[in-house]
Amino acid sequence: MKIAIISGSHRNNSQSEKVSRVIEKMLSDKEHCSDTWIYNLADNPLPLWEESIWDKEPVWETRLNPIREQLQSCDGLVIVSPEWHGQVPAGLKNFFLMVSRFDVGHKPAMIVTVSSTDGGSYPVAELRMSSYKNNRICYIPEQVIVRNVESVLNEDPADNNESTDAYFRQRISWTLDVLLAYAGALRPVRASGVALSDKFGNGM
Ligand SMILES: Cc1cc2nc3c(=O)[nH]c(=O)nc-3n(C[C@H](O)[C@H](O)[C@H](O)COP(=O)(O)O)c2cc1C
């Protein structure tokens, strides 16, 4: 199983990227995960959505095709989002405008949100409400909210709160196991072809 990890912060050396790297390492140690791909939105690699994407303008095809190829080869995703002013960062919402049902449709996705304090709930709600309708990404019921992120999941144990760090490592690892189980279970749904309807190309 191949899992894509989308790091949704625009900042360089963000906490979201730190968490994404920990998740990538955990996945690569798991028997049921054969490959991973991290896409980092630091420095905004994707310009804002333009209508020429629908016209398949070459500059956009060149930009998006490598991303589409990676996503199409994945069986599931982890979406890592910081909470910024109670929202998902604009670059991550922009990413979802460019991702189609042919890339992520009917693939399970695990939401991981990140907060330097005790936030992190709002981006969970926002992703579940408004990022899946047309691309048909399937958020699994489990999610992880990494609160006080600076005190956990650091490489140097001296930087971590020992008990909360252990809790988050166990919780993330278990949730990844759930994600991988869904990834196996949803493969036949996509293979059946029933979910790819030309008549109902967009969700209601
Ligand atoms: C523009 C901006 C707005 C933020 N707003 C919130 C917020 O509403 N709630 C919160 O818990 N943290 C907020 N934070 C702090 C983030 O939780 C913190 O930066 C954390 O490290 C996750 O973001 P990162 O992945 O960009 O590092 C904000 C950070 C930025 C840069």
> Is 169 near ligand 1, meaning CB less than 6 Å away?
no
> Is 115 near ligand 1, meaning CB less than 6 Å away?
yes
Q: Domain 2-191, what fold? A: Rossmann fold (3.40.50)
> Is 11 near ligand 1, meaning CB less than 6 Å away?
yes
Q: Alpha-carbon distance 11 to 98, whole Å?
A: 20
**pLDDT for residue 175:** 98
In 3-state terms, what secondary structure has residue 121?
A: helix
- Arithmetic mean of pLDDT over the chain: 97
**pLDDT for residue 16:** 98
> Is 113 near ligand 1, meaning CB less than 6 Å away?
no
The pair of structure tokens assigned to 188 is 């036949």
In eight-state DSSP terms, residue 87 is: B
In eight-state DSSP terms, residue 114 is: E
Specify the residue for token string 């998740």: 23
CA of 46 to the centre of ligand 1 (A): 21
Q: Alpha-carbon distance 88 to 41, whole Å?
A: 12
Q: What is the pLDDT of residues 61-102, one digit of tens each?
A: 999 999 999 999 999 999 999 999 999 999 999 999 999 999
Q: What is the pLDDT of residues 191-200, one digit of tens each?
A: 999 999 999 9
**pLDDT for residue 131:** 96
Q: Which of 40, 115, 117, 118 has the most ligand 1 atoms within 8 A of CB, as the residue to mutate? A: 115
Label residue 7 by pLDDT band (50, 70, 90). very high
